[in-house]
Amino acid sequence: MLNHVIEEIKKSELTGRGGAGFPTGLKWELVKKEKADKKYIICNGSEGERGVFKDEYILKNYLDDVLDGIRIALETFKNSQAYIYLNKKYYKDLKPEINKKASYIKVFKKPEGYIAGEETTILNVIEKGEKEPRKKPPYPTQKGLFRKPTLVNNVETFYYISKIVKGKYKKTRFYCISGEVENKGVFELSINKRIETILKETKNYPKFDFFVQSGGGVCGEILLKNELRKKVSGIGSIIVYKKDIDPFDLMEEWAKFFVEGNCDKCVPCREGIYRLYEMIKQREINVPAFNDILNVMEKSSFCPLGSVAVVPFRGLYEKILK
């Protein structure tokens, strides 16, 4: 079976569950095709933003399946070494158990900061402790950890790799539902369900006027009640807000998160987020400046953080605040 694992993953149409949604089978195939005396595998469990907690749920309830997915990768890529990269809390809770069950996997603790979970930043953190992203290309699949071909997949992705190889993958994914809901939690449901259906089936559809932030936690897009026939993308989170929430309070919370979480490497992201933060704290939007900042961040930021940070601010302004 392992000789055909990449074909099985491709047939499953599994996509990455860490945010980008890149086809998993293609990523594995790219690493497999690279010629190198050593290859690396990284399971990314760096989860650390508001409204996203599915990896914690999976690691607590299905750790054996995640480890099995990593083992399958090790057997697929000969002469490879695996790391599981965990935020501070998960590292403390799970390191002893992982060491006991899979001592061949190196457990690495993520430093503080949201950017430390970005895939190329992970490479720099493990190599030399630097919390800065790398320029792409080359991509990690070509020259990743220690300049060797590297597979970086999310915790949930490795969980489903195990299911695929066992013939138990049912085209599901994990959804985090939080905010102003009665039944906050993680739910495993079909990848094809729409947001409206997910909220109703999990008994989380509000009786009050509301909007949601969908897909990427703090980075997710803002959707009104009449837009909920969309599917959930990205990390798989749904955060529900009351329509009458103070939008400035919410934006200030986001801006503070991004100010604290970025690496300060590039001007568009560093200065853009800071200027947004200052504007929001003053409770007044200078519309031309606001739009200029978002456009520059979106088009010029060094790594994806600057461009995805734009999404919630633009959405909230245009759909709620304007």
| d(C-alpha 115, C-alpha 122), whole Å | 9
Q: Where are the beta strands (DSSP E) in 145-253?
A: 150-154, 172-179, 185-190, 210-215, 221-224, 237-242
43 DSSP β-pair partners: 84, 153
pLDDT of residue 3: 55
What lies within 8 Å, CB to CB, of 174 at 6+ separation is 17, 54, 57, 58, 156, 186, 187, 188, 236
Altogether, the residues listed in the chain come to a count of: 322
Whole-number Cα distances in Å, 87 to 117, 140, 253, 310: 9, 21, 21, 25
pTM of the model: 0.94
CATH 3.10.20.600 in the chain, residue ranges: 172-242
Domain 247-321 has CATH 3.40.630.30: no
pLDDT in tens, 253-283: 999 998 888 877 888 889 999 999 999 999 9
What lies within 8 Å, CB to CB, of 252 at 6+ separation is 277, 280, 281
17: confidence class by pLDDT, cuts 50, 70, 90: confident
Superfamily of domain 2-165: NADH-ubiquinone oxidoreductase 51kDa subunit (3.40.50.11540)
Token pair of 176 as six digits: 């985090």
> What mean pLDDT do residues 34-44 have?
97
pLDDT of residue 1: 47
CATH 1.20.1440.230 in the chain, residue ranges: 247-321
CATH 3.40.50.11540 in the chain, residue ranges: 2-165
* Coil, helix or strand at residue 156: helix
What is the architecture, at CATH level 2, of domain 172-242?
Roll (3.10)
